[in-house]
Structure 1
């Protein structure tokens, strides 16, 4: 492999480089809520992160990501002085600027990946030598969740804010749209913890009145695999209400101890209300769609039907 430089979007290269056998050590300053999709660690790995009170209150390090790694068996440690972003596997080292967050994938970042044995050993020694570390356990997570809830997001490019302009609630070009019926289920402790922590309002480019919120969507891997930017429209199981669209805002996140189940974070507008399905069907019929199939799950392939559905909420 040698030594390679990657920028301004190094995360796909980093993720591939660290998918190796053997224990891995990572010192990543800040973690976004979807860090596990970028930094796939497993039981036996070591992760040091800056999960100090200041970092959590600033929404730079997410308790959701911390809980995910802890539940996966990763040894998670917090160091308030950590600012580096380095990873060491048995044979490779990654040295760069990128935090493990979606914001970092949008910022201009850089990383060097090498299999030089001396560099790999040096990175490993650096990680092992980090001082002032605290083990992240359940008590730590509970405190971090409380700090997150009373804190606020601080706009730091590549850490807690988008490095480029926010494209808005809906993608400029919607890759795919699906209609799904709501399925009731009892979330596990980790899901519930994440749900409560992240289901908060956000301000968006549509103005102060347009509030955003995050929610969980759980489904089986056998279902159509969702991607970031896909749009979902939900209907209640009794076909009584149709809900405004939600945008997939994360890659797939494996739900621990639930064979075959995965979850996604969805972003939705809290200022939009559901509509009775019969009323929606009548409006869609008036717009030229007498059979919109709102009572069955399906992928909405028709561009004109997509547009008509969004018009139900003046989107």
Structure 2
């Protein structure tokens, strides 16, 4: 085949090029609702997309398309700084400007399709090396659907605004941090269904490693009202382990038929590990906080103690 150039309407050529055997990797910045028709991926493939809150709210990336790929068994990952559009199979690569969307099919786009083995390997390495990755699972999808419904335009890194190399997951200024002990509870039928859905989408080894993850936090409506941007630090009920901080990433979500229980989506770093509570207490004492009260639920009001707690994980 060699190397060929296609423009200004390359999508028919892209679709034909990716209909090959073997696993495929794709890094496509934005997905329209019709993306699965343009980019026919299947179980075992990897798709990296910009499904950040900004991209979804601006209707540049569709939760409908994300859900389709998840149900098809594709491993879907989100990177908020992604602006590239590249695809690699075992022996062919596509490199160009085209997002997987209807607007791309009516715009002047251009791609290069090649079977040069060095280029194919380089594209696969580029996709596997993308950083700041969040696994797209059912919890992520629920949050994206809520953001889509808000539907207000905001700046998009690389499209209408400047991006950051790694903005991290903590708010620029933390004003509210809470320490909570993990409480075991028996989820109701609605939550059982949610967890069963999520279980179908466990992270597989192909593709880049997820740096962030979303998870549910279930609590009673009578507890302190939480807001997006609040930071939670969890301790096990036996006061043995303290977990890395998680950031509230959604408004309160009512849990049906649960007698007033609510939930929030929390975002956390997948690469951080829990610390034994005695070790954490000693480290905090060394930082000037001999009584950090890690064995009792409370709001951490001291700015210096909040900073010291984050330093336990070098944050």
Q: TM-score, normalised to structure 2's length?
A: 0.50
Q: TM-score, normalised to structure 1's length?
A: 0.50
